[in-house]
Amino acid sequence: MPPIMEKKTPKITDVARLAGVSTATVSRALSKPETVAESTRNIVLAAAEKAGYRVNLSARNLRRQRTGTIVVLVPNLGNPFFSEILAGIETALSKADFNMFVVDTKLVHIKPHLVSEYLHATRADGIIALDGSLPDEVLSAATSGRGAPPMIFACEWSPNGEFSSVRANNARGSELAISHLAELGHRNIGIISGPKDNVLTQSRSAGVLARLEALGLPFDPRHLFQGDFSLDAGARAALSWLDLTERPSALFCDSDQMAFGFISELARHGVPVPDDVSVVGFDDIDIASRYIPALTTLHQPRYRLGFSAAEMLLGHIRSTSSLAIETKILEVELIIRDSTSAPKA
């Protein structure tokens, strides 16, 4: 019986030989891809694949004194809005050989100590928070102490402005919505808002009121329906709208979810949109274009938002000195579909 030959484990030198570059270039291409040209990185990746070379992440992270884990704090994993943001985060992190550990903050709000437990369990290298309403004790647990990981916000932000953030131009988005409704001829416009203390709500409401004032249009406080970004909140707003003797002819909603809840509840009562009332959402989640009627809404570049947030955090992790607080604003786009039209004569 011939002797069994052990399969040789490919080494970095094998990759370098196949790629026609130095071992140092291979190392940089695999561990710090931003330091080499994209064409070089692609050649190295192809050579690594051909050689069957696999990076030992555990050993690399041990040398770097890192775990390769990023904790992402999400306010509601059941909300489809966050899926594209998480996809963007995951893409950016995976390119840098980092993993993502997602935590739903609904439970964290009830048990703030869980954040420090998650961080201790994962020994996270950084935190991305998508929830701007995190209690102070949670923020303190996440960022205080020697060697605390860097933390940034995405989508939402800390009201006191002490953390870097990536977010959409929320005020500009609501201004675009009001301008669109006014151009259609609407003069009585209501709001279905998010939670009163939420930074998104405050920013979008400020944009609405500023644009109404600029156009010389009044705002009736009775036409403000407080919600929580959910389908149920939109449905409750529809019932309140139906109870009014003088109804606004158009509604701006702080989220697509609330817009869907509003429209569907009106349909149950035989009230058609946009024939009897126009509706504008905010977010442009996937179903918005397939809904009946297709929803006029503000498109947030959610994937790019997540990707940019992850890149910003990675920059903080790699920095050897304290970085200044950054704020990156991404523009939104008004997508006009079938849920808005001129008011009834």
Q: Where are the beta strands (DSSP E) in the chain?
A: 69-74, 99-104, 126-129, 151-154, 164-168, 189-193, 224-226, 250-253, 278-283, 296-299, 327-330, 333-335
Q: At what angle do helices 12-19 and 23-31 cross, to 10 degrees?
A: 100
Of 230, 228, 224, 154, nearest in space to 197 by CA = 228
Average pLDDT value for residue range 130-143 = 77
* Rounded Cα gap, residues 163 and 203, in angstroms: 17
Query: Beta-strand (E) ranges in 267-345?
Result: 278-283, 296-299, 327-330, 333-335
Do 23 and 13 meet the contact criterion of CB atoms below 8 Å apart? Answer: yes
Same fold, 67-168+302-330 and 170-301: yes
Whole-number Å distance between alpha carbons of 199 and 227: 14
The full set of domain ranges for the chain reads: 12-55, 67-168+302-330, 170-301
Nearest in space to 298 (alpha carbons), one of 336, 330, 341, 343: 336
Q: Are 133 and 196 in contact (CB under 8 A)?
A: no
The more confidently predicted of residues 272 and 36 is: 272
Residue 337, pLDDT above cutoff 80: yes
Average pLDDT of span 113-141: 75
pLDDT at 58: 44
Which residues, in sequence order, are bridge partners of residue 13?
A: none
Running DSSP on this structure, what letter comes out for residue 283? E
Residue 315 is predicted with a pLDDT of 92
pTM over cut 0.85: no
- Cα(44)–Cα(25) distance, integer angstroms: 8
DSSP state of 97: T
Q: What is the pLDDT of residue 318?
A: 86
Tell me how far apart the alpha carbons of residues 331 and 336 are, in angstroms, rounded to a whole number.
16
What is the architecture, at CATH level 2, of domain 67-168+302-330? Answer: 3-Layer(aba) Sandwich (3.40)
Class of domain 170-301: alpha beta
**Token representation of residue 87:** 């996809």
From residue 175, how far is each of 3, 132, 201, 256 by CA, in Å? 76, 22, 13, 16
Lowest mean pLDDT among 9-13, 225-229, 239-243: 9-13
- Write down the pLDDT at residue 136: 76
DSSP conformational letter for 172? H
Please state the rounded mean pLDDT for residues 34-49. 80
What does the block give as tokens for 309? 């947030």
User: Which of 69-78, 150-159, 217-226 has the largest mean confidence?
Assistant: 217-226
Q: Which residues contact 312 (CB under 8 A, 6 or more apart)?
A: 152, 164, 166, 326, 328
Which SS3 state, helix, strand or coil, does residue 335 take?
Answer: strand
